[in-house]
Amino acid sequence: MKSAATMPRRNLVPWKGMLVGLLFGCLVVLNLAPLIWGFLTSLKSEADLFRFPPTLFDFEPTLENYRRVFASGFGQSLAVSLTYSTITVVMVLLLGVPAAYAFDRFEFPGRKPLLLLVVASIPLSLGAAALLIPNYIYFLKLGLTNHFYTLPLIYTAHQLPMAIWIIKGTMEGIPRELDEAAIADGAGHFTILRLVILPLILPGLGAAGVMAFVGSWNEFVASTVMVDNPALRPVQPAIYNFIGYFGREWGPLSAAAILGILPILIVFTLLGRLIVSGLTKGSVKG
């Protein structure tokens, strides 16, 4: 097999390169335009918000909308969401690593059906509105609703299949000869997992952690039903509260949305490369 360094490069026709660049430029504009417009809206006074024709930059910036948002207790909702997401990431990694190790390194009865079940449950990471009613009934009968651990339990169940799939894919790229060498030296499976496997799957762990954080931070449906205590309300329902009975409060709504997006932007800026690295780590075997 030819290595990537020895494979011939394909020259891109100039006009095709310009077309690709124009396409990506359009995608960047389409993705950034709503974010920029929302940020500018969050800095406008009520008079500037309803000015006609609308203005993009010709207005006097104000932080009044952000003051109103924080006065409503939005800061507590941010802290609650950060706590929920952190707990979810920790639980997903604690449960996902040994599960992925077992699926990748062991043969046991029911392994393939269980793995298919895990793969089939991956769409839960995008939310499961269809399961909301049965989940609510079960949690209500068990007395698990409206507690600080209610949403982390649901988020962990939703994000765990995706984490197992990502981590298992990363483990597949690790030669089994390393396990055999460690066993020959007297190491057990726990020692192999801790000292041999874990240092080599850090990109996969990072990718799984980022996906779990983003999925739990953005979840809306379960968080609006499973808890009704304002002290336990995460950030997404708190943003929705600015859509009032008499209409939308565009200034505070935009400010709350920007504050809700900011942690996601920070996470992707610092750890975004881990998603690509973790998802492709085990895709090519030497």
**Global pTM?**
0.82
- Assign 147 to helix, strand or coil: coil
What Rg, from alpha-carbon coordinates, does the chain have? 24
List, for residues 219-249, the tens digit of each pLDDT value: 888 888 888 888 898 999 888 888 765 567 7
Q: How far is CA 211 from CA 81, 98, 234, in A?
A: 15, 18, 18
pLDDT reading at 12 higher than 60: no
Beta 247-248 vs 243-244: how paired, if at all? Answer: antiparallel
The pLDDT value given to residue 273: 72
The pLDDT value given to residue 15: 72
Average pLDDT (181-185) is 86
Provide, rounded to the nearest whole percent, the portion of the chain with pLDDT above 90: 24
Domains of the chain: 13-62 (no CATH), 73-280 (1.10.3720.10)
List, for residues 38-71, the tens digit of each pLDDT value: 898 888 888 888 877 777 777 888 899 999 999 9
pLDDT reading at 89 higher than 90: yes
Give phi and psi for 243, each to the nearest 5: -95, 90
Average pLDDT (152-166) is 92
